[in-house]
């Protein structure tokens, strides 16, 4: 399992999905993708500023949706508030979609509710 990959600031969710699919194939189904909203420790380095936790959580929800759509197979077009995808497809999919774990922290516990969806 990855610890926590942020599929919004540094890496596009379609790229994360492709890497997860590859790991799912190479590990014979023993891989879990860990996702999180990112921290201002090392994700800010791409120069896009640093959004609030609420915005990062909304971005992560969209990214998880895109990753799930890609694991459904076929071409994916997506136009969300924060993320866009144009005709992306995972060409090599494992037999079962890679399980996704979503990191959560904080007093408000909003992320577990979003992640559960």
Per-residue confidence (pLDDT) for residue 114, from 0 to 100 = 54
Average pLDDT taken over every residue of the chain: 88
Q: pTM, whole model, 2 decimals?
A: 0.87
Which own/partner pairs from 72-80 qualify as long-range (CB within 8 Å, at least 24 positions apart)? 72/97, 76/14
Contact 83, 55 (CB under 8 A): no
User: What are the residue boundaries of the structural domains of the chain, listed by start?
Assistant: 13-116
Q: Give per-residue pLDDT as tens, 10-52.
A: 899 999 999 999 999 999 999 999 999 988 877 677 777 889 9
């Amino acid at each position: 399992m990855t610890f926590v990959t942020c599929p919004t600031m540094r890496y596009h969710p379609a790229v994360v999905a492709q890497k997860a699919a590859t790991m799912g194939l190479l590990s014979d189904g023993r891989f879990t993708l860990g996702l999180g909203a990112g921290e201002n420790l090392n994700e800010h380095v791409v120069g896009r500023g640093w959004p609030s936790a609420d915005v990062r959580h909304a971005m992560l929800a969209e990214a998880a949706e895109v990753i799930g759509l890609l694991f459904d197979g076929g071409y994916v077009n997506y136009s969300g508030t924060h993320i866009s995808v144009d005709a992306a497809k995972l060409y090599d999919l494992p037999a079962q979609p890679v399980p996704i774990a979503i990191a959560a922290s904080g007093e408000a516990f909003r992320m577990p509710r979003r992640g559960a969806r």
